[in-house]
């Protein structure tokens, strides 16, 4: 009797494990089947949105001053023309420095990811949003060329407030801060606009002039020190 009960318990235990395994297998299969549909949905969102936004009343990419393009890329995304929308090497470096060298975590988002986050997603800090951001950045780069993406960023990046009105893009930033066309800005003025990209409130010209000056000097140092990304 004891032997029979023992066998029954073993069989029941095995059945439970098999049932759980079966359920887990079905869940994994479902995820594999649904993932392409989810990616396809995200792709339609990306393409639909940016196809409607591909002719803003701003400068074309070839009209953007090469100097300010180089400053932006050297400061914010040096691998822009090499990565597929996400800089996996930079992410690996950030994680390595954090785990092995006790360095603070720093941002590793590309310009493409910033566009997706600002245009299509919320700013909530959740893993699910970050995964969606990565997928959509990859899809954006697969659907549009680098020139379009960089130009879109330069025409829409947030650079501050004029009362209730937000200042977006280097053209509007040049007009608001310096009353000039962007192509007529001096080297320091261009560096100032690029410095503001990091945080218009944190580097506010009136409230935090010292912070802005230090950031501007960093932009200028990078510009003078390293090889230009765009010739």
Q: Could you read off the pLDDT tens digit of each residue along the chain, which spans 231 residues?
A: 544 554 555 555 554 554 555 555 555 555 555 677 778 888 888 888 988 765 555 778 888 999 999 999 999 999 999 999 998 888 788 777 767 666 766 667 899 999 999 999 887 778 888 888 988 999 999 999 999 999 999 999 999 999 889 999 999 999 999 999 999 999 999 999 999 999 999 999 999 999 999 999 999 999 999 878 876
Residue 231 lies in a domain: no
Residue 146 lies in a domain: yes
d(CA 209, CA 61): 31
Distances 47 to 60, 120, 138, 139 between C-alpha atoms, Å: 19, 11, 12, 8
Q: Name every residue whose Cβ is closer than 8 Å to that of residue 98 and which is 6 or more positions away in sequence.
A: 104, 105
Residue 145 lies in a domain: yes
One domain for residues 213 and 176: yes
Residue 230 lies in a domain: no
Residue whose C-alpha is closest to residue 92's, from 80, 108, 76, 78: 108
One domain for residues 95 and 3: no
Residue 58 lies in a domain: no
Which pLDDT belongs to residue 90?
Answer: 82
d(CA 222, CA 78): 11
Domain count, the chain: 2
Residue 54 lies in a domain: no
One domain for residues 110 and 191: yes
> Long-range contacts for 158-164 (Cβ within 8 Å, ≥24 apart)?
158/118, 158/200, 159/193, 159/196, 159/197, 159/200, 160/196, 160/200, 160/201, 160/204, 161/200
One domain for residues 35 and 133: no
One domain for residues 36 and 87: no
One domain for residues 14 and 74: no
Q: How far is CA 85 from the centre of its chain?
A: 8
One domain for residues 199 and 127: yes
> How many CB atoms are closer than 10 A to CB 45?
15
One domain for residues 158 and 113: yes
One domain for residues 34 and 87: no
Which pLDDT belongs to residue 3?
Answer: 45
pTM: 0.81
d(CA 31, CA 170): 43
Residue 56 lies in a domain: no
One domain for residues 75 and 124: yes
Q: How many CA atoms lie within 13 A of 61 on its CB side?
A: 12
One domain for residues 32 and 70: no
Q: For residue 1, what are the domain limits?
A: 1-45
Residue 57 lies in a domain: no
């Amino acid at each position: 009797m004891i032997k029979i009960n023992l066998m029954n318990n073993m069989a029941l235990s095995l059945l439970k494990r098999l049932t759980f395994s079966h359920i887990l297998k079905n869940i994994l299969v479902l995820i594999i089947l649904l993932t392409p549909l989810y990616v396809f949905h995200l792709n339609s969102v990306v393409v639909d949105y940016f196809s409607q936004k591909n002719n803003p009343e701003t400068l074309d990419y070839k009209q953007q001053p090469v100097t300010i393009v180089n400053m932006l890329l050297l400061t914010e995304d040096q691998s822009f023309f090499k990565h597929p929308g996400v800089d996996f090497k930079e992410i690996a470096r950030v994680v390595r420095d954090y785990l092995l060298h006790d360095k603070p975590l720093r941002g590793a988002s590309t310009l493409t990811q910033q566009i997706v986050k600002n245009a299509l997603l919320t700013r909530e800090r959740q893993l699910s949003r970050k995964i969606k951001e990565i997928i959509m950045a990859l899809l954006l780069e697969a659907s549009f060329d680098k020139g379009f993406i960089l130009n879109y960023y330069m025409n829409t990046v947030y650079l501050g407030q004029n009362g209730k009105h937000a200042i977006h893009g280097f053209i509007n930033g040049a007009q608001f801060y310096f009353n000039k066309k962007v192509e007529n800005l001096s080297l320091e003025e261009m560096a100032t606009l690029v410095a503001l990209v990091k945080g218009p409130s944190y580097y506010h010209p009136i409230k935090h002039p010292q912070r802005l000056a230090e950031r501007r000097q960093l932009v200028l140092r990078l510009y003078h020190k390293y090889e230009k990304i765009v010739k």
